[in-house]
Amino acid sequence: MAEKIVQLAPMLGLIDAPFMNAIAEVGGFDEIFAPYMLADERSIPKPQVLARRFSDISNRVNLVPQLLSNNADAFVAIANILNDLGYPKVNWNMGCPIKFVVGKNRGAALLRDLENIERLLDSAIGRLKPELSVKIRIGFSSPDEFPAIVEIFNKFKLNELIVHARTAEQQYSGEPNRQAFIESAGNSLNPIVYNGDIDCAADANISLPNLKGYMIGRGAIANPYIGLQIKGLPADNVPTFRQFATEITHWYCARNSLNRLKELWKYFAKALDKPDEIFAKLQKINDSEKFCETVESLF
Ligand SMILES: Cc1cc2nc3c(=O)[nH]c(=O)nc-3n(C[C@H](O)[C@H](O)[C@H](O)COP(=O)(O)O)c2cc1C
């Protein structure tokens, strides 16, 4: 079986340029997905604006932009600009479960009306310049929806179908339903990427002939070496965890982004002894300099 690819999951409010740049230095990730941006027909950004959005991201990052949209024209317009800017592939977010996204009939809300997905893809695909990757869940309310979801996407040729093995109603908690995933993902004519709670290399053990790889989110913050480990590559000559975490910490401290740091440290702390104690200690700090000093003292 061909080697599986490893992708870094898009995580709005958690992962942006500093994390992407640092993990690209570590290696092991074939592609890094940008957090979603809205594709709305009333506001198609100019190419310069889109280019600026990614300007802090190093060219070592193999970036896949992601769009959140329920409008084929807006999706095509922005995806084609991104392609002109050099991105060969764009992802369509059909999995976001957050209330204000679903309330506007975007993200995972699209999974409630498969005929609409068919209309959107029918309208978009012939006009799209980049390859199309789609990120979904195994259902909106129930994993029983998954077989029909897979069938709808079988009508189209995608670069990949990335499946977060939870329903939208589960949000991010509860166990991913690997069983429901395996039972129907094998029927996909499109290459499949598994996503959900891959926290160590041993979790990347799904055996399906059409499995292209794994997408990893929270597990990659707690362990940025997970891509290398899944691929069995050595972690020699790559930044240490101390270098990795302190570089990112300094970047945000310099910008007084303490809230972001506290979110990141929820996961970074898991790489150290006594993570709960560390996280509780960092949570209380309200000064960037003190935050940085405290982080240095952890190592
Ligand atoms: C804070 C946060 C932000 C997220 N932002 C996005 C996003 O912008 N686009 C997206 O498709 N998924 C988003 N996700 C979902 C992740 O990409 C991923 O599917 C989910 O965390 C499950 O994978 P994991 O168990 O490896 O973390 C987000 C998740 C979290 C926790």
CATH label of the domain that carries residue 109:
3.20.20.70
CA nearest ligand 1 atom 3, residue: 11
Instruction: Indicate if 178 and 37 belong to the same structural domain.
Output: yes
Find the residues whose C-beta lies inside 6 A of ligand 1: 9-14, 35-36, 66, 93, 95-96, 135, 164, 172, 195-198, 216-219
199 Cα to the center of ligand 1, angstroms: 14
Distance in Å, CA 74 to ligand 1 centroid: 23
Q: Which residue has the tokens 């479960």?
A: 97
- Which residue's CA is the closest to the ligand 1 atom numbered 5? 11
Residues 6+ apart with CB under 8 A from 280: none
Q: What is the pLDDT of residues 267-294, one digit of tens each?
A: 999 999 999 999 999 999 999 999 999 9
CA 196 / ligand 1 centre spacing (Å):
9
pLDDT for the residue numbered 1: 47
Query: Is the Cα torsion angle 228, 233, 234, 237 positive or negative in sign?
Result: negative
Q: Would 236 be classed as within a structural domain?
A: no
Pick the residue whose CA is nearest to atom 30 on ligand 1.
11
In a domain, 213, yes or no: yes
Please write the tens of the pLDDT for every residue from 49-81: 999 999 999 999 999 999 999 999 999 999 999
Residues 42 and 77 occupy one common structural domain: yes
**What is each CA distance from 132 to 6, 56, 65, 191, in whole angstroms?**
17, 24, 11, 12
pLDDT confidence of residue 160: 98
Q: What is the pLDDT of residues 107-164, one digit of tens each?
A: 999 999 999 999 999 999 999 999 999 999 999 999 999 999 999 999 999 999 999 9
pLDDT digits (tens, 9 = 90+) for 209-234: 999 999 999 999 999 999 999 999 99
Q: Has residue 206 been placed in a domain?
A: yes
Q: Residue 209 falls within a domain, yes or no?
A: yes
The ligand 1 atom at the shortest distance from the C-alpha of residue 166 is 22
208 inside domain:
yes
Digit-coded pLDDT (tens) for 40-49: 988 899 999 9
Backbone angles phi, psi at 129, to 5 degrees: -85, -45
What pLDDT digit, counting tens, does each position of 169-198 carry?
Answer: 999 999 999 999 999 999 999 999 999 999
Instruction: Please check whether residues 32 and 144 belong to one and the same domain.
Output: yes
Ligand 1 centroid, distance to 229 Cα (angstroms): 21
Final residue belonging to a domain, choices 189, 211, 231: 231
Distance, CA of 158 to chain centre: 18
Distance, in Å, from the CA atom of 104 to the CA atom of 106, rounded to the nearest integer, reads: 6
pTM above 0.85, yes or no: yes
Rg of the chain, C-alpha, whole Å: 19
| Structure tokens, 190 | 């499109």
User: Which atom of ligand 1 is found nearest the CA of 197?
Assistant: 25
**Statement to judge: residues 212 and 261 lie in one domain:** no
Question: Which residue segment(s) compose the domain that 27 sits in?
Answer: 5-231
What's the mean pLDDT when you consider all of the chain? 97
Q: How far is the CA of 292 from the centre of ligand 1 (A)?
A: 26
Ligand 1 pocket: which of 12, 135, 259 to mutate (most atoms within 8 A of CB): 12
Residues 186 and 260 in one domain: no
Q: Indicate whether 150 and 45 sit together in one domain.
A: yes
Instruction: Tell how far CA 140 is from the center of its chain.
Output: 19
- 146 and 274 in a single domain? The answer is no
Does residue 217 sit in the same domain as residue 267?
no
DSSP sequence for 242-267:
HHHHHHHHHHHHTTT-HHHHHHHHHH
Q: What is the number of structural domains in the chain?
A: 2
Which among 183, 212, 231 is the end of a domain? Answer: 231
Backbone φ, ψ for residue 217 (5° rounding): -110, -95
Q: Examine residue 214 and state whether it is found in any structural domain, yes or no.
A: yes
Please tell me the distance from the alpha carbon of residue 18 to that of residue 159, in angstroms, as a whole number.
27
Residue nearest (by alpha carbon) to ligand 1 atom 6: 11
| pLDDT, position 268 | 97
Looking at the domain assignment, is residue 164 inside a domain? Answer: yes
Q: What is the mean pLDDT of residues 5-21?
A: 97
Q: What is the largest CA-CA distance in the chain?
A: 56
CA of 297 to the centre of ligand 1 (A): 30
Within a domain: 143? yes
28 shares its domain with 97: yes
Question: Are 204 and 259 found together in one domain?
Answer: no
Cβ-contact 182, 208 below 8 angstroms: yes
Specify whether 194 is located in the same domain as 52. Answer: yes
One-letter amino acid for residue 6 of the chain: V
Between CA 181 and CA 195 the distance in angstroms is 10
Nearest CA to ligand 1 atom 31: 11
Q: Domain check: are 35 and 97 in the same one?
A: yes
* Last residue within a domain, chosen from 191, 207, 231: 231
